[in-house]
Structure 1
Amino acid sequence: MPPKPKNIAHYGLAWLALILATLAGLAWWWQIGRPVDLPDAPSARIACVSYAPFRKPGETPFDTHFVMTPERIDEDLRALSQRFDCVRTYSQGNGLAAVPAIAARYHMQVLMGIWLGGVEKINEREIEQGIATAKANPGVIRGIVVGNEVLLRGDLSPKHLAQYIRRVRAAVPATIPVTYADVWQYWLRYPQMESAVDFVTIHILPYWENEPVAAIDAVQHVKEVYARVQQTFPGKQIMIGETGWPSAGRLRRSAEPSLVDEALYLRAFLRYAAQVHMPYNVIETFDQPWKRALEGTVGGYWGIFDSNAKPKFPMLGPVTEEPHWWWGWLAGAVGAIAFAFIGGRHRSWHGIRGWIALSLAGFAAGSSIAWQLRQMMFACEGWWEWLLSSVCLAGAWAVAAALARRFAAHLADHHDHTEPSPWWRYAALFALVLYDILLAFNGRYMDFPMGLFALPCVAYGVFGLLTHEYSMPSAEQRFMACVGPLLAIAPVVQEAGMSKVAWLWLGLNLAIALPVWVAWRCHHVARLQAYQAQAAD
């Protein structure tokens, strides 16, 4: 079959795509490396903060046999006493019953938790231990939280929960107030719980709302919710038992997990709390790696300190999202050199345009790989997650490098008509559609691996602009090229069209699918023309 005539418009679009991909890599890494000026917090001290010591690999409260040593708790509270006046715990198990006695050494108070669930035997053990701990440390206990989000989880009925609360109320010293903590919507749904508690404890997490709120607007949302709950329970003191912002994870509509947004929200909330003199507790002390299994990446990054007990951001002055942002530019430069080396070997073309195409593609690929590696540092926990992600990333890079070699030849006006192996695109489409299905039907806690899929999707998109295939794509590829974009519309709809990442994900699906559609159509047109010519003869 004779070569297809050069399409100037398509060549221009291919150049534009390469330039935009390169500029996107440059701009994104530069942007997250710029210090952002934020209003200061009123003080570096915080009234109360959720404390869970499970910050090291393998530590989890789900391991009932794991006991946190008093020495570790002492180490944590000694450091936390420099910044916090109070800590909130959630259970008596895993050695946490020792927290009040240790907190007394550092003149801290404890909002002590008793964990309630659907297993009566465990509930009984928690309540007995909680009552004993409260009686032994009456001067340290600021309050007792009997049950945390029990109604949200559906573990107990309101009546059964109220019985547990009243039982604890009757058993502990009268000087210790007793409460129950749940998200604010469930307090409004079950207002009868007011009669069982001394004060109402609500959780307001703007990121997790059914209609997520951006960090810049989140404190206004907290004000509105707090006022609404006050109107519902005019005779009770209202405490915010959990509020905070994640520093990494999945974008939800306009609510973006980032270090800058966490600092922005927390500083703004502390200013508001100081103005209205409201009782509050911030979630949480340390990043909790074990929560990723429940809530995805975002679950592990609500801490004011990281999992190594280091502050993640200051309370005064500017905040930088990624101090080592220049690694992204360096990865881009390495990618440009690597693509030029791979694409320049045994080349049959000459001229500067081929080298420029390889350099642009390589820089875009390198910065994308660096983005995905940064994502893996947040998301990957076990060795198998690192292995699987690394293998997928290496495969995506190999596909992008092979395609870059071909479209560099086209942009250098040397038409390389060898087609890449159909298995490359088949594998990329299969992985993409599989992830599309997960995002469409169970994507609440899943990240968008943009850096991984940008490599094959953008590369096939650019390649499709420069050449057309002479063989019909397989039925499986045609099917996946149709299903993928349809599935990718689901996250856009679920995020009410407000998530820029969901739109970019849809764009990647279209980038790899369009060449399949074009080849499909061209094949049908060629068959029709051949049939017409045969009929004319």
Structure 2
Amino acid sequence: MSFSPASRSRRLVAWLVLVLLVLAGAAWWWLVGRPVDLPDAPSARIACVSYAPFREPGETPLDPNAFVSPQRIDADLRALSERFDCVRTYSQGQGLSAVPGIAARYHMQVLMGIWLGRDAKANAEQIALGIATARKYPQVLRGVIVGNEVLLRGELSGAQIADALHQVRAALPAGIPVSYADVWEYWLRHPELADAVDLVTIHILPYWEDQPVPPERAIQHVEEVYGKVRRAFPGKRVMIGETGWPSEGRPRRSANASVVNEARYLREFLRYAASVDMPYNVIEAFDQPWKRAQEGTVGGYWGIFDVQAQPKFAMQGPVVEVPRWWLGWLAGAAGAGLFVLAGLRRRRWQRGRGWLALGLAGFASGAALAWQWRQMAYACRDAWEWTLSLAACLAALFTALRLASWLAGRLAGAPFKPAPAGRLRFAWLFVLALYGLLLVFDGRYRDFPLGLLELPCAGYALVAWLDERMRAPSREALFLAAWLLVLAAVVVAQELGENPVTWLWLALNLLIAAPVFAAWRRARFVPTAAGTMLDDPR
């Protein structure tokens, strides 16, 4: 069949886009595998680190029946003693009251936590157990922290927390400091609590600030906040009870969760802490999978060590985000092979152009799905989430194979065949609109599935570019396409345009939505030979 000059120019653009998608996928995987030079920490040792042993599958401190054996705590503290001088705990019970006694074996100190919440009976039990433990191991305790972010959660009033502090303070041996820990803003809102504590314990987490702070300005932010709180409480010693950076999860504005940024923040914080007389505690020793239920993917990845107790990075030398980056290239090659094999049933390719198109589309799809798989490995918490995520990946792969087959035939000069659209495209429009709603109204802890959605969005955009028919979309498809752009623009605006990932999200929505409007416009204003408008019955 012959092609018009417009068709030829469109085919050239389509070839260029396919090549760029391949290069983008290959370059992305290569870049995340490059070593990043960072300033060294002054030492691999850290003064104190938050310790919670709940990292086995299904374990959570929210389960009242959860229990951690002294043997596990002993193994953890033996390993942690090689890097840390102190551990901070958050509650009593569930086996954690054994921490001070075990820490003493390894010449460690403990910032012992007493958990406070809404339940007055549970609070009384925690206080009684904490007092008993403190009296038994006074020489091990660096301090006792009564309540953690209770004001942030809105579970008790400042007066109730002060009563608990006075009760504990009166019952402890002399010389053990008593404190309460919360996000630094809440201390400024409740200065009356200072009279009930020996030191003010604040949390400074630049990633979680209401105005997220990027890693390059994070230490400056810590310094400013620390100075502000010290000025607000003259005569009181101020301790940073939590600070750190997550290694995985969604970006917040320009604050990106990554291994490189976690290493950068901790190294720079340790350099800063070494230059001032400041007690501090880093969050946290081990990744905590249970936190993903409360805080999304990012909640589970604040650890210096992963759930297997392996360090994520060293405190000196370059840091690599994805050491096995070449697996992304391997996935791209596998995708190329799969797409070519899927095309064997068609015999209309000319001079290898069709096979080349299939290979390019397959490599781009494989590299994108590999990134989505990596995100799933960090985000999925249970069998249901894995099943749903795998089903979505298979649907995206099926869609990409179907679209690539049509594209290859068009680029190879095969006889014209109607482009695949209709119900399948409508389903992806619906999925994008639904997820867009979730991002707008409940997006704080949601990841962006860019790798998954690149396949249908880029695929339908290329198909629409090469499809010379004028088929009007359904009203429902038009409605969804319009909402896609509105919702995606709101997501960008919510993060003040500072989050590059939200712009990529907007771009994917635009890729699949714009052809819907273009088809509607062409079908509306260009009549058929019979004087009627073409419509897509699907």
> What TM-score do the two structures reach when normalised by structure 2?
0.96
Report the Cα offset of residue 527 of structure 1.
3.9
Paired position in structure 1 for 2:314: 314
Report the Cα offset of residue 207 of structure 1.
0.3
Q: Could you report, residue by residue, the CA deviation over 1:234-270 in whole angstroms, capped at 9, with x for unpaired residues?
A: 2111100000000000011111111111001000000
Q: How many residues align?
A: 532
Asked if 1 retains the 8 angstrom alpha-carbon contact of 2:54 and 2:60, the reply is yes
**Structure 1 letter corresponding to 2:168:** V
Cα gap change, 1:5 to 1:519, in 2 (>3 Å): farther
Cα gap change, 1:352 to 1:346, in 2 (>3 Å): closer
Q: Could you report, residue by residue, the CA deviation over 1:404-453 in whole angstroms, capped at 9, with x for unpaired residues?
A: 11111222233533231522112111111111110011000000011111
Asked if 1 retains the 8 angstrom alpha-carbon contact of 2:10 and 2:466, the reply is yes
CA distance in 1, matches of 2:529, 2:205: 62
**Structure 2 letter corresponding to 1:457:** C
Paired position in structure 1 for 2:162: 162
Paired position in structure 2 for 1:148: 148
1:183-332 superposed matches below 5 A: 183-332=183-332
Paired position in structure 1 for 2:536: none
**Structure 2 letter corresponding to 1:132:** A
CA distance in 1, matches of 2:116, 2:249: 28
Report the Cα offset of residue 532 of structure 1.
9.2
Residue 253 of structure 1 aligns to a residue whose secondary structure is: coil
**Structure 1 letter corresponding to 2:245:** W
Q: Could you report, residue by residue, the CA deviation over 1:123-164 in whole angstroms, capped at 9, with x for unpaired residues?
A: 111111111111111001110101000111111111111111
Report the Cα offset of residue 528 of structure 1.
8.4
Asked if 2 retains the 8 angstrom alpha-carbon contact of 1:406 and 1:416, the reply is no
Paired position in structure 1 for 2:172: 172
**Structure 2 letter corresponding to 1:382:** D
Percent identity between matched residues is 60
Report the Cα offset of residue 360 of structure 1.
1.4
1:368-407 superposed matches below 5 A: 368-407=368-407
CA distance in 2, matches of 1:362, 1:526: 35
Asked if 1 retains the 8 angstrom alpha-carbon contact of 2:349 and 2:355, the reply is no
Cα gap change, 1:469 to 1:185, in 2 (>3 Å): farther
The answer to whether structure 1 residue 137 and structure 2 residue 137 are counterparts is yes
Report the Cα offset of residue 490 of structure 1.
1.6
Paired position in structure 2 for 1:520: 520
1:409-448 superposed matches below 5 A: 409-448=409-448
CA distance in 1, matches of 2:72, 2:447: 33
Q: Could you report, residue by residue, the CA deviation over 1:173-223 in whole angstroms, capped at 9, with x for unpaired residues?
A: 121010010011111111111111100000000000111111122111111
Cα gap change, 1:415 to 1:202, in 2 (>3 Å): farther
1:16-55 superposed matches below 5 A: 16-55=16-55
Residue 496 of structure 1 aligns to a residue whose secondary structure is: coil
Residue 310 of structure 1 aligns to a residue whose secondary structure is: coil
Residue 526 of structure 2 aligns to a residue whose secondary structure is: helix
**Structure 1 letter corresponding to 2:180:** Y
Asked if 1 retains the 8 angstrom alpha-carbon contact of 2:259 and 2:321, the reply is yes
Cα gap change, 1:336 to 1:509, in 2 (>3 Å): same
Unaligned runs of 5+ in 2: 534-538
Residue 160 of structure 1 aligns to a residue whose secondary structure is: helix
Unaligned runs of 5+ in 1: none
Residue 143 of structure 1 aligns to a residue whose secondary structure is: strand
**Structure 2 letter corresponding to 1:233:** F
Residue 481 of structure 1 aligns to a residue whose secondary structure is: helix
Asked if 2 retains the 8 angstrom alpha-carbon contact of 1:468 and 1:515, the reply is no
> What TM-score do the two structures reach when normalised by structure 1?
0.96
Paired position in structure 2 for 1:56: 56
Paired position in structure 2 for 1:182: 182
CA distance in 2, matches of 1:412, 1:465: 15
Task: Please provide the CA RMSD for this pair.
Answer: 1.7
**Structure 2 letter corresponding to 1:146:** V
Q: Could you report, residue by residue, the CA deviation over 1:378-410 in whole angstroms, capped at 9, with x for unpaired residues?
A: 011211111111111011011011101111122
CA distance in 1, matches of 2:235, 2:11: 71
Asked if 2 retains the 8 angstrom alpha-carbon contact of 1:334 and 1:366, the reply is yes
Q: Could you report, residue by residue, the CA deviation over 1:330-365 in whole angstroms, capped at 9, with x for unpaired residues?
A: 111111121122234323231233222222111100
CA distance in 2, matches of 1:230, 1:345: 73
CA distance in 1, matches of 2:65, 2:353: 64
Report the Cα offset of residue 520 of structure 1.
1.1
Paired position in structure 2 for 1:493: 493
